[in-house]
Amino acid sequence: MPESKNYFIGIDIGGTTVKEGLFDEEGNLLGKVSVPTPPLIDEAGYAAVVGGIEQLMAEAQRPILFVRGIGLAIPCPVPASGNITMMANIQIDATGLAEALRERCPHAVVRYVNDANAAAMGEIWQGSAQGAQNMVMVTIGTGVGGGVVINGDVVYGAFGAGGEIGHMCLNPGESRTCGCGGFGHLEQYSSASGVVSNYLRECQMRGVEPIELSGPSDSRSVFQACREGDKVAWAAVETMTDYLAQALSIIAAIVDPDEFLIGGGASASADVYLEKLIEKYQRFTLTVSETTPIKVAELGNDAGIIGSAYVALRAAK
């Protein structure tokens, strides 16, 4: 009997690893591969990504000609036009890579999406936000990212800044600079590195010796100190949740989502701060938005491949 299914590839391009996943139209994951991230600027780099697709299809025993969509999640702003103009921590020629993918998979549409937006779409398709049409996801890692979904579609923005929640300016009087060059941005206080920064500042102000940290983004150790009753660590989390609750209340007044999701590496420690975050959000937000759920995302490291595949599936239809 001839093969009749359509298949979709989700590709999550990180700074060190390219993860690729094969899905059918129902969202079943049929296989995964990962390769070290090469500079995606020439034929050698393109071949690594294309080779991953060939490996996926061979292992799943599916014909590559039935790949109908390829989505690529990348860590930089992606405007609605798809014309990527700003990149950090990654080398990619988006046009050249797309051409190489279309040459190998001639019946596939190719779409780029910001990695946080991809994670949001993945949660809509298969994660915590299934059934939601309007959702905002906040990813808390080294920085703070976000994905805004309205009427089932991710908001890219005219210049790709849609969902850049971490760069909301909440403290214009801040003297320290954000990684982007701005001042007083959300991620300076509520990212993993922000939690560590909050903690070290509190230790300095109180004359307390800090706990041992593995690096500038080791929020996990600070959260563990909270579990053990460390008052200085709790002060750092108070700062984190103050700013994050303010940000969510502002977003609610603009977007009024069905729900908020917390994702990223720091979501694994949500048992420490989620209840406090909800209490503060309810205090800051409009009365009509007080009951907006704030939940933890489910998909973890697979969110990028799932969401980018979903973006491709929707584009193919």
Q: Low-confidence residues of the chain, pLDDT below 70? A: 1-4, 79-90
Check: pTM over 0.75? Answer yes or no.
yes
* CA dist., res. 259 & res. 147, Å (int): 12
Please say whether the beta carbons of 165 and 260 come within 8 A. Answer: no
pLDDT for 1: 36
pLDDT tens string 240-298? 999 999 999 999 999 999 999 999 889 999 999 999 999 999 999 999 999 999 999 99
pLDDT for 255: 94
Q: Domains in the chain, start-ordered, CATH in brackets?
A: 7-121+302-316 (3.30.420.40), 132-297 (3.30.420.40)
pLDDT for 82: 62
